Amino acid sequence: MTALGTTSPGTTGPAHPASARPDPGVEAGVGRTALLVANARALEARRSEALAVDPFAAHFVRASPGCADWPDDPARVVPGDPVWERLATYFALRTRVLDDHLLAATAAGTRQVVLLGAGLDSRAHRLPWPAGTTVWELDRPEVLRFKQRVLDRLDAAPTAHRRTVPVDLRDDWTGALTATGLDPSRPVAWLAEGLFLYLPAESELAVATALDGLSAPGSTLAYEIKTGLESPTVRAAPVYADARERLGVDLLALFAPGPRPNTAATLAAHGWTTTVRTPFDHAPASRLRTEPHDALAANRWVTCVKHTGARTVVRLP
């Protein structure tokens, strides 16, 4: 593979004002969730009939000392383990569904792909992008630095032009993105995978409004939401305490508190049409099965297309 072009955070990219917000990278807080998803993808890559094969995921996890006791082999996962079997299967399915979504957008002609809250997503290195595709990765600076260190050690070459944009998505990030070459007059395929749950409602809406401002007709967006937060009963359950201990992060504490916004309605008002699916709509192709009182039942995967002139209001179930 030949490197088509990369911009490492803080090196050849444009100068961005450092956010005053704390940024503990991948070792703590919300950054650590990027490692959690990476480990799920590392496990999936080693399964027969994997939904997605990410050859970089295990390298990211191994590079983080705080994950030394996470299983890297499906044979080491206890059947029924709520984290490394159930949640990991969810992430594997999500990866595959959103891989397919992005590749469909580029098959339809889009050549600009933006990963919001990209974390350790290696799509810029592992998917078969059409020639002329550019993939932008937006995340906080320390997360992108960690990622780049691992990719550099592997001498990894992207399969598209790749641009990394270190930003906090609660701040204004659009100037940093256009400064690295995004052309708002051409369609964009946007992805917010595992991001909005962690943003305050007003930041989620601000991101949606901002990306709309950079989206020519024909642009697409896929994002994940939860229709409700887990109840105090879930938080108090021994299974959750056990997961928190093993992962070294309190996932529920990371979710932004308060009611979630109706982002689909905001997008609809700007001319986007929206399709809402549950993970279980895709589950027949995977090992994901529903369980009674399933926390994943509140998850939705939303895909949208921007048209001109459409003004309908979508209400999420």
Ligand X SMILES: C[S@@+](CC[C@H](N)C(=O)[O-])C[C@H]1O[C@@H](n2cnc3c(N)ncnc32)[C@H](O)[C@@H]1O
Q: What is the dihedral of CA 111, 135, 207, 25, to 10 degrees?
A: 180
Closest CB to ligand X among residues 13, 194? 194
Burial of residue 76 (CB within 10 Å: 0-12, 13-18, 19+) is exposed
Tokens 């932004």 identify what position? 256
Part of the chain binding ligand X (CB under 6 A), chosen from 6-14, 192-200, 245-253, 288-296: 192-200
Do you know the residue count of the chain?
Answer: 317
Residue 143 interacting with ligand X (CB under 6 A): yes
CA pair distance 278, 261, nearest whole angstrom: 18
Residue 37 interacting with ligand X (CB under 6 A): yes
Closest CB to ligand X among residues 243, 268? 243
Part of the chain binding ligand X (CB under 6 A), chosen from 66-74, 176-184, 191-199, 206-214: 191-199
Residue 194 interacting with ligand X (CB under 6 A): yes
Closest CB to ligand X among residues 156, 195? 195
Burial of residue 191 (CB within 10 Å: 0-12, 13-18, 19+) is buried
Residue 170 interacting with ligand X (CB under 6 A): yes
Residue 121 interacting with ligand X (CB under 6 A): yes
C-alpha distances (whole Å) from 258 to each of 196, 200, 201, 269 are: 13, 8, 8, 23
Which residues lie across from 220 on neighbouring strands?
Answer: 189, 305
Binding to ligand X by CB under 6 A, coded x per residue (else -) over 65-104, reads ----------------------------------------
Closest CB to ligand X among residues 61, 304? 61
Rounded to a whole number of angstroms, the minimum distance from the CB of residue 34 to ligand X is 4
CA pair distance 95, 134, nearest whole angstrom: 19
Closest CB to ligand X among residues 23, 212? 23
Structure-token pair, residue 287: 């090992």
Q: Which residue is nearest to ligand X (CB)?
A: 119
C-alpha distances (whole Å) from 42 to each of 49, 143, 185 are: 14, 18, 37
Closest CB to ligand X among residues 178, 312? 178
CA pair distance 260, 200, nearest whole angstrom: 8
Rounded to a whole number of angstroms, the minimum distance from the CB of residue 144 to ligand X is 9
**Interacting residue with ligand X among 9, 13, 71, 117 (CB under 6 A):** 117
**Interacting residue with ligand X among 139, 208, 295, 303 (CB under 6 A):** 139
Yes or no: say if 133 and 161 are a contact pair by the CB < 8 Å rule.
yes
Rounded to a whole number of angstroms, the minimum distance from the CB of residue 147 to ligand X is 9
Q: What angle do CA 262, 227, 196 make, to 5 degrees?
A: 65
Residue 193 interacting with ligand X (CB under 6 A): yes
**Interacting residue with ligand X among 42, 195, 251, 267 (CB under 6 A):** 195
CA pair distance 140, 104, nearest whole angstrom: 28
Binding to ligand X by CB under 6 A, coded x per residue (else -) over 196-215, reads --x-----------------
Positions touching ligand X (CB under 6 A) are: 30-31, 33-34, 37, 117-121, 139-140, 143, 168-170, 193-195, 198
